Structure 1
């Protein structure tokens, strides 16, 4: 059990160390590569886009079902033991999946192996947030904690955005230069090396001082379902729906113009802008409360989403995506900051993995529904769905204010 007193002056970088941030950043890459890598190898080996989509969704299903349980295990037993086990198991599942896809196994086994990949996916991003928040709360002077937490969530969200833009790009490069199976084998190696290094980093020994000597939390499981926490989960589920509906409807938009492969480039306009604006949240004044940030930036997101239905050219689409990027990055930072502030005592990793799983679930549902609607009803109808997802985020922000649960 680690318990330390905050020094008179300190910085998170000094406490965690620069190598920590480098390792934690690279350790996120395999997760960003998995869904696209699975889709790529299934379509190549099995020749079925439909099976590829189902398999990608199966990865998300495994993550959504087991992510919060892995967070709870990390809270109970410490991150080190959980992450080491996951690094080994996930690397093995990635290799096993590749062998199954290229073998003679039926589609059901392919889907089961995909669920296994998602179920064993190391939750590096949520656990990094939990680890850093614990260090801030236990080792830094109280006057510095709020601003440092906001800056940390801004950095973490920007890192996620960067990785989820670069990850699919890396999959495309390695699949083109080597073979379709290369991204998954590469992800297996990265997982074993860098997730293992993340687990073995000295901060991995840190267990929240809020835990008892036997590892039990002073809070109950029921506290994870308080309205103050649930409204944040609903908000971040809406963000996941937004990601899934936007990328899929954008792909349909570009496919109508004969260039579906350029959808990722346009999507990157929003991703890059979102990452930059996410970092900028750290400089917002404290009087601009989190409840207000949620409403303001999700309002910008909703406005930009409504403009999608009137766009007729790729250039116009890029402009609208840039507007949406202004809203999505700060909204994501705000939601994670609220999640950190409202986590029941001793259950920070659980809440963070709940939020991370909410994004994955929303993204999977959004992509599946939007793909079906685009195929049946056409692109104009599909382009309405990002606005519906943004509306969920905005309405959750209104409920957050009305519940008087904001921080």
Structure 2
């Protein structure tokens, strides 16, 4: 199919400003969770406390994010984002102050929970802006826009953790947390200032009550199930890769192997967005989940770190494609006035699956070795394939999409 063009997207008035500002903020957000671990460990000397505080952050982030997104959809990004950013900056300041004062583990956990409850949903807001700008006349370019979003997220999670880890290794974990908050706040404020590209609110259209009910649909439940299973895959994969290389006496190979997965995903996401694919998104989804299932089944047969690196390059390459398709199908399924909420709920489902999988994979590894953990990843991928089969029937854009004037298949 004809090639799409990232440059044409970013030349659209207003797009470069909101995408780059959201990308800057995402680097800060990508630093935050690991920054909490380094900060608390530096002050307490224990990873148990660091894990508790980071866990509190993750739980409140997953629970509160959709509620913040609901406010964004109702009142608009430019009204909700500034107070959210202020609350986030104050929450980080509280956590840093508690750590500097050698506060109890319980108070540190409360501080971490406050930080998680105030995380600005910049990725969901950026994706909602692309949808608002392109859905009417340029809907065929939405997969390319969401691929660009995926690339931005991948880069953020490559750069952010590396920066905060380098600062922690230099003995400056507090600087890492302050930098993370600063990037998030500055990026978010610049994004909020881009009023021209902000999507219309539910209050403007007068469809808030009806739009809320539109999230309680079988299509959305399928997408949430897919994101939950993808989170399980993420959570189990990181633990299992680490266990595998430790079993083989090469613990230093874990970081390069995970980097291979991230880099293959970055390349695959970029290349995927350069094409306009003829197959319908549900068909592409089935193909991508099938490839992921094949890759995870190969994990059960590898016998060396080199072999593992080759397989994770395959599995990593499927992830950005899946994330783009999730965004495309969500945009095509839900009412436009609750799109930010939908994106946030999918992110929360993925986060919940990742948190649960880390514990389940750890138990499986203790019982069966690293292959026990890889079995969890294979089960998650198989579940995604089954849900994709269901999606062949459910995840098809209607003749007139919710909140849209006309059909816009991709």
TM-score past 0.5 threshold: yes
SS state of the match for residue 353, structure 2? helix
1:109 to 107, 125, 132: 107
State yes or no: 1:162 paired with 2:155: yes
C-alpha distance after superposition, 1:272-306 (max 9, x if no partner): 11122122223444431111111111111111111
SS state of the match for residue 225, structure 1? coil
Q: CA deviation at 1:65?
A: 0.5
State yes or no: 1:391 paired with 2:389: no
Q: CA deviation at 1:157?
A: 1.1
Q: CA deviation at 1:264?
A: 2.9
State yes or no: 1:352 paired with 2:343: yes
Q: Residue in 1 aligned with 2:401?
A: none
Q: CA deviation at 1:311?
A: 1.8
Q: Residue in 1 aligned with 2:372?
A: 381
Q: Residue in 2 aligned with 1:252?
A: 243
Gaps of 5+ in 1: 1-9
In structure 1, distance between residues paired with 2:135 and 2:234: 31
State yes or no: 1:310 paired with 2:308: no
In structure 2, distance between residues paired with 1:19 and 1:268: 29
1:185 to 168, 178, 182: 178
User: Are the counterparts in 2 of residues 79 and 199 from structure 1 also a CA contact under 8 Å?
Assistant: yes
In structure 2, distance between residues paired with 1:281 and 1:214: 34
Q: Residue in 2 aligned with 1:37?
A: 35
Residues 83 and 107 of structure 1: is their aligned pair in 2 closer, same or farther, counting only changes over 3 Å? Answer: same
In structure 1, distance between residues paired with 2:342 and 2:256: 33
1:322 to 299, 303, 313: 313
In structure 1, distance between residues paired with 2:363 and 2:105: 21
Q: CA deviation at 1:262?
A: 4.3
Q: Residue in 1 aligned with 2:119?
A: 121
Residues 41 and 333 of structure 1: is their aligned pair in 2 closer, same or farther, counting only changes over 3 Å? Answer: same
Gaps of 5+ in 2: 1-7, 398-408
In structure 2, distance between residues paired with 1:215 and 1:12: 31
Residues 259 and 85 of structure 1: is their aligned pair in 2 closer, same or farther, counting only changes over 3 Å? Answer: farther
Residues 116 and 214 of structure 1: is their aligned pair in 2 closer, same or farther, counting only changes over 3 Å? Answer: same
Q: CA deviation at 1:375?
A: 4.2
1:73 to 71, 74, 85: 71
With 83-92 and 43-52 compared, the bigger mean Cα shift is at 43-52
Task: Give runs of ≥4 in structure 1 deviating > 6 Å.
Answer: none
Q: CA deviation at 1:181?
A: 2.4
Q: How many residues are matched?
A: 391
Q: CA deviation at 1:405?
A: 4.1
Residues 56 and 256 of structure 1: is their aligned pair in 2 closer, same or farther, counting only changes over 3 Å? Answer: farther
Residues 36 and 78 of structure 1: is their aligned pair in 2 closer, same or farther, counting only changes over 3 Å? Answer: same
Q: CA deviation at 1:44?
A: 2.5
In structure 2, distance between residues paired with 1:87 and 1:259: 42
User: Are the counterparts in 1 of residues 295 and 312 from structure 2 also a CA contact under 8 Å?
Assistant: yes
Q: Residue in 2 aligned with 1:213?
A: 204
1:28 to 26, 29, 39: 26
Q: Residue in 2 aligned with 1:7?
A: none
C-alpha distance after superposition, 1:306-361 (max 9, x if no partner): 11122222211110111112222211111111011112241111111112222222
In structure 2, distance between residues paired with 1:395 and 1:260: 34
Q: CA deviation at 1:35?
A: 1.4
Q: State the Cα RMSD in Å.
A: 2.2
C-alpha distance after superposition, 1:204-254 (max 9, x if no partner): 6x3427x35376536332210100111111111211111111112112223
